Structure formats: structure tokens, C-alpha cells
Structure 1
Amino acid sequence: MKNYLLGFLLLSFSSFAQKPFGKMNPMQPVDTLAASCGSCNFKMVKKGCYLAVQIKDIAYEVKGTGLDDHGDAHATDGFCMAVRKARVQGKVENGFYVATYFELLK
């Protein structure tokens, strides 16, 4: 019984943690980009773990939302362990991708 309860709680928390960030603006284009940890998978210079997206083979650190806003970064499918796809809206500004909408795809 404890295993079922624990599984239910973990599933509930992971579902909650992976809700989209921001509100999609129907007047702006939506891009599907590779998203992952900048230092773990995109080999960016900055040390530590942080969310990044890749546009035309160039990785940008994301501002507005972060690694832990979209689940456990160190889970088997987390950003530090895998490159994922995300639907995003935003723009590159001063070397960062400033996200106004970010939805991690399954």
C-alpha cells in the first residue's frame, strides 16, 4: 500500500512540476527547440546546471523559467540527463533566450 501511495504522490508532483510556463500569445510564432542543461548537454562555458535552448546549433541560457520548473533535472528524462523538445515563445536578448512561454513536450 505504501508503494502505491508513494507512486501516486511522485506522479502528482511530477505532473504539477511540468506545467507550461507563461501564457501562449497567439500573435507570436511558436518554435519547437531542443532544451536541456546548458553545461551538462550543450557544453556551454558557464559552470553549474541551468536551462538552455538551442537555436540553429547555438545554445542560449533561458531567462524566465528554469530547470526545476519542469521536473527533476537529474531524473532519467530530466534536463541534465537528456536533451528534450519544448514549444517556446520568446526572443534572444543580450545573449540569453528570454522565454515568455515554455512547454516541455513528452
Structure 2
Amino acid sequence: MPEHADTTARIALSGNWSICCVTDRLSELTTHLGSLLAGREADASTSREICVRDVESIDASGCQLLAVFLRHLRRHGFAPTIVNQPEHVRSSMAMLGFDAELEGTGV
């Protein structure tokens, strides 16, 4: 592997992240997490960009699910970062108190 190889992988999220569709999102996130852990395709220092560009809407349920996913990735040694945040996602997460998750400081 080259000395300065890019060790960032991207997970693209999309669709409706509100209460009516959050169970569909759970299934998708479970698949992402399962493949990461089963293949352990990267070492613990590998960052994960979570692209939310195509998230159509998000409410408290979607924010909670995303927060749990980010925390679970961190617990398993990955370094997730939210990228390509549309204003509606950023403002909804801030209004609902999840803005610390966007900064990677969620506890």
C-alpha cells in the first residue's frame, strides 16, 4: 500500500429518515455495519465518510438511528464523519440536539 494511500471509505445514505421509514433505514445500516465487521475490510484507523447528500428528510427518529450508527462505528474503532450535509439535514439535527454527532463529539 502506498505511504499516503487514502483509507477513507464512503457510505451513502439516502431517502426518508423520518418515523414512517426509519425501519427501512435500520435494515440498510445493519447491512453496512455487518459487512464492515464481517470483512473487517480496514483497520481501526480507517475513516468512514457518511454522505447524507441524498437524505430527503430527517426527524428525531432518523437522528437517533444515525446517532446510534455513528456511535457503533466508533465503538468498533472506525472514525465516521458526516459529509455533504444539506441545510435541511444540518438544521434538523441541530434543532433536535444532535449537532454534536455532526461534529463527531457525540457521547
TM-score where L is the length of structure 2: 0.24
Higher-strand-fraction structure: 1
When the two structures are superposed, what TM-score results if normalisation uses the length of structure 1? 0.24
